[in-house]
Structure 1
């Protein structure tokens, strides 16, 4: 199993290109099931989760080809996928595929909308709390689906097709919003979703669906209206840049010091996180090429933060911020309001010498002058990269084990960091 070895203490200087957003690429690939024509997606990141979803879609009979780089392409530019679901040969998504990644459960929406039936295993994925699918099932039932759960599978049928409805989510749900929007595109009549998630990835998927002939308005706001159409056609769409990768590297620069241009980043996708970094002592400057992050001699200042749905501070940057605050001059507080069990990185950060105490959903971090390198183990995707950030600033050597979590969400992490001066390498086997 691969490990990542880091020798801390080097400042980061240079340019880091930001990849396409995993959290947009996955639902965009799934949206390819809604049409028999070809959907072309540009700037798709090369990630383990993307490869896994290709296997899931292939099981339904979807042909996916990846087009290589062309002359003039930038280094790290994502791949282009041609997704053709002309003939869906199987409407079952089996446990052995779905259990490896939660987002693959979302295929239930386009299969039900287009084929009027689906049998999808209950999902697996990251070990962060329960993350149930009850709100997704509720949304599909509102649209007229008949749903049963049998033997660990959700069996959904809509013999006459789906019908537009009002879907009022009792709490904000990104996955529920994705599923409801995709299912409603081919439903008869109008669907109104209230208390919808406002994340930029929701808007990105809606933009792609509209390019395919859907009629979605209000995406990116709490109220989305979808007028159903009889069929969708092919389109070409570029995946937006990954705001979590952007925030992660911005935090890494704040942690180590230095001066890095995050090429292709869009500040409006993570303004709340950039504001917190500014409070902590980094200088964040948006420009035509992306975002420049600098921290010279200034020390790190403590912050108080609660995670919140967009446009609040992202839960997916909580672990990274905690690593940063471990070296701040004073006590910080981070409250996690989105997922339970999302403090599994605390024990591992403590191995670096970090002083963190937990009280329910709030972590108090008493900053220390210097972390010490240690052998640590990744527990989930975002927690694992917090250990890398800690290792970059720690004295001596850090070995991060179980890095397959990292490969699910960060494209060529060690290449991007080493190009900016970090001493970091992957050790295979």
Structure 2
């Protein structure tokens, strides 16, 4: 099993190109199931999760081709052979559940395994089920599979979600595009990935308004057609690499970055003593003077502080001046990186959904183990600022969400290498 070796090497300088968004691309790919005509995505990230979604769509009979070194994905669902998403594929990645709404809308039936994908809490499907049932679906759970039917087709409805779930919003919006009548989805998630999905669906002929707000209205149409769509910039990769010069010092420009994608995160960096400036090509980030200051963080749905940047922010707070409190309100079990950071000399106390971090002068390199996707990159960031060598094992998590991480960090002066497993 591969590992990553990181050695503290001082300030970083240069540019890092930011890829297309993993979470957006994984949502856009199932949209091909809504139409017989081709859907082509550009600016696609080259990640193992994208390969998993490709395998899932192909198992349903869709044609999926990776072009231009993986940055273009060409898909066609004109001749699907199955409406069953099998456990052996779905268990690898939670986003697999996003085939449920499109299959149900187009074919009136779908059988989808309950998903897996990571170890950061239960992340149940109840909000997806409630929304689709509001559109007239009949859904039963049998032997770990959701069996969904809509014998008379889906019908528009007014539905208010109990929680602004991103995945449930995406599934319900896709399903509603082919429902009869108008659907009004209240307490909808507002993430940029949802805005990106709606822009793509609109290119396919969907009639949708209100994306980016808490109320989305969808007027169902009889059919959708093909389209070409560019995947939005990955705001989580962007935020992650914004932290590299914040932790190590120096100045790094993140190419393709937009302030609108990371405003709440940038505000926290500013409060900690890190400059973030919009340039014509992206975002330029530099630590102002000396140690960063501690700041408190509460994870919230967009436009609040992203849960997917909490682990990385904790790494920054480990060497900040003062004490910070990080409260996780989105997922349980999302502080599993804390004990690994403690192995490196961090002072962290975890009580339920709250972590208290008292900054230390410096971290020490140590062997550590990644527990999930974002935890893996937080340990790399910590290793870049630590004295000596840090070996991060179980980095297969990393491959799910970051393309060419070693190359990108090496390019700005980090001392980092991937060690091939036996």
Q: Name 2:315's counterpart in structure 1.
A: 323
Q: Name 2:409's counterpart in structure 1.
A: 417
1:190-201 equivalent positions in 2, closer than 5 A:
190-201=182-193
**Correspondence 1:226 to 2:218:** yes
Structure 1 residues without counterparts, runs of 5 or longer: 70-77
Q: Deviations over 1:218-258 (max 9, x none)?
A: 01100000000000000010000000001000011100001
Counterpart Cα distance in 2 of 1:260 and 1:306: 26
Q: Which moved more, 1:182-191 or 1:155-164?
A: 155-164
Cα RMSD between the aligned structures? 0.9
Counterpart Cα distance in 1 of 2:224 and 2:386: 52
Q: Deviations over 1:58-84 (max 9, x none)?
A: 001111111116xxxxxxxx6111111
The answer on whether the counterparts of 2:61 and 2:81 sit within 8 Å (CA) in structure 1 is yes
3-state DSSP of counterpart to 2:124: coil
1:200-349 equivalent positions in 2, closer than 5 A:
200-295=192-287, 297-349=289-341
**Correspondence 1:183 to 2:183:** no
Structure 2 residues without counterparts, runs of 5 or longer: none
Q: Deviations over 1:150-194 (max 9, x none)?
A: 111100011221111111101110011000000000000000000
Q: Name 1:32's counterpart in structure 2.
A: 32
TM-score by length of 1: 0.97
The answer on whether the counterparts of 1:204 and 1:240 sit within 8 Å (CA) in structure 2 is yes
Q: Name 2:149's counterpart in structure 1.
A: 157
Give the Å deviation of 1:296: 5.2
Q: Deviations over 1:343-378 (max 9, x none)?
A: 101100101100001222211111001100000000
Counterpart Cα distance in 1 of 2:275 and 2:120: 32
Give the Å deviation of 1:329: 0.9
Q: Name 2:119's counterpart in structure 1.
A: 127
After TM superposition, what 4+ stretches of structure 1 lie above 4 angstroms from structure 2?
none
3-state DSSP of counterpart to 1:348: helix
Q: Name 1:51's counterpart in structure 2.
A: 51
Q: Name 1:170's counterpart in structure 2.
A: 162
Counterpart Cα distance in 1 of 2:146 and 2:356: 41
3-state DSSP of counterpart to 1:148: strand
Counterpart Cα distance in 2 of 1:296 and 1:258: 9
The answer on whether the counterparts of 2:273 and 2:288 sit within 8 Å (CA) in structure 1 is no
Give the Å deviation of 1:417: 0.1
TM-score by length of 2: 0.99
Paired residues in the alignment total: 421
Q: Name 1:2's counterpart in structure 2.
A: 2
Counterpart Cα distance in 2 of 1:249 and 1:51: 24
3-state DSSP of counterpart to 1:279: helix
1:140 maps to which of 132, 138, 144: 132
